[in-house]
Structure 1
Amino acid sequence: MNTENEIRLRLRFYKDVSEPISVIKEKFQEHRDRQPHDYSVKVNDEHIWFHFKGEKKHYWSPHLHLELESKEENGTHIRGLFGPDSTLWTLFMFLHFVVAGIFTIFGMFAYSNYTLKVPLITDIVIMFIMVIIWFLLYVIARQIREKGHDQMNELEQAFLKIIN
């Protein structure tokens, strides 16, 4: 998967397989039972979570979420989504909401100060700082994704090996 030119932080892929969902789920369950414990596989209904554990797991380690959809003629459409660890993702979302909240509050302050004809330079400066922090959060997320790129490829190769 070529990820160098992707803007999205959570990479996706799609794959069609000529086997039914039950066979694919069995393959992942068999792999979970016989494979060394480098990564964990969780199967629940039509969803499969595939992530690292033990010494290989780091804060930047990605996980792979597979969603299985029935297709005509006993086939399966697999939707894959790479993402960061859920704790890290939650932290980033929290930071984004805080930054957006501060930006909105100081936007309201700036509007109030403008209508009252009071200087609003402080409000504008804080809003500008929030925009810079948004860009910094994006850059940090890209760096974390690049750091986990090798593990993402490893997960993809393991996934392809299991379904073939």
Structure 2
Amino acid sequence: MEAEKNSDIHLRPRFKMDFSESQQEIISKFKANLNEGNCKYCSKIVDEHIIIDVPAEENHFWSPQLNIEIEKINDKETIVKGLFGPKPQVWTLFMFFHFAVAVAFIGFSVMAYVQWSIHTDYSFALTMVLALPAIWFIMYFLGRIGKKTGHKQMDELYKFMMKTLERKLSEK
């Protein structure tokens, strides 16, 4: 098993691991581990894609979700790609706010330029052009705080995944 991770600056950390097992063997490990009676994680398995959530009683707004994609290289080699991130609805909301700030920045930039060009008061538009990057940085740091809040749960999901991948199929 060989693992590759990206840098820690990303809000949605990714990893990639190579295995000398077939795609079906790895998927079977996850099915066996997730179907055990004492498994506390909520999950969905669709074809080669596995989504693992934290338990419902531990779930909060910043709880992470682990998305795993199992890619077949050949009959005996497989790549497991993983992505930690917030739940899709949280990520969509966050991206909507980023997009809204970007559109507002462009709009107020045009407004400031037009008002400056026609020699009218452009102080409000200029204030907004200066304030919107500050709002963007605040949203970025809120995302970092959210990632830090869910870090313990992210570690637990990662340990669960590694325990599953290191498990022998004959174990119960």
List runs of 5+ in structure 2 lacking aligned partners.
167-172
The alignment partner of 2:35 has SS state of helix
Matched, 1:66 2:68: yes
User: What is the distance in 1 between the residues matched to 2:37 and 2:91?
Assistant: 28
**Equivalent residues in 2 for 1:153-164 (5 A)?**
153-164=155-166
User: Could you say which residue in structure 2 is the equivalent of 1:49?
Assistant: 51
User: What is the distance in 2 between the residues matched to 1:140 and 1:108?
Assistant: 28
How far 1:123 sits from its partner (Å)?
0.9
Could you tell me the percent identity over the aligned residues?
A: 35
How far 1:37 sits from its partner (Å)?
4.8
User: What is the distance in 2 between the residues matched to 1:88 and 1:35?
Assistant: 29
Q: Is the 8 A contact 2:33 2:39 kept in 1?
A: no
With normalisation by structure 1, the TM-score equals 0.91
**Equivalent residues in 2 for 1:63-142 (5 A)?**
63-72=65-74, 74-142=76-144
Amino acid at match of 2:45: V
With normalisation by structure 2, the TM-score equals 0.87
User: Could you say which residue in structure 2 is the equivalent of 1:16?
Assistant: 18
The alignment partner of 1:34 has SS state of coil
How far 1:109 sits from its partner (Å)?
0.5
Amino acid at match of 2:136: W
The alignment partner of 1:82 has SS state of strand
Does the C-alpha gap of structure 1 residues 163 and 38 become closer, same or farther in structure 2, counting only changes over 3 Å?
same
User: Could you say which residue in structure 2 is the equivalent of 1:28?
Assistant: 30
How far 1:91 sits from its partner (Å)?
1.5
User: What is the distance in 2 between the residues matched to 1:53 and 1:105?
Assistant: 43
How far 1:27 sits from its partner (Å)?
1.0
User: What is the distance in 1 between the residues matched to 2:63 and 2:49?
Assistant: 20
Amino acid at match of 1:163: L
The alignment partner of 2:93 has SS state of helix
**C-alpha RMSD of the superposition:** 1.8
User: What is the distance in 2 between the residues matched to 1:35 and 1:27?
Assistant: 15
How far 1:113 sits from its partner (Å)?
1.3
List runs of 5+ in structure 1 lacking aligned partners.
none
Amino acid at match of 1:108: V
User: What is the distance in 1 between the residues matched to 2:9 and 2:22?
Assistant: 33
How far 1:53 sits from its partner (Å)?
2.6
How far 1:35 sits from its partner (Å)?
4.3
Q: Is the 8 A contact 1:37 1:53 kept in 2?
A: no
User: Could you say which residue in structure 1 is the equivalent of 2:170?
Assistant: none
The alignment partner of 2:108 has SS state of helix
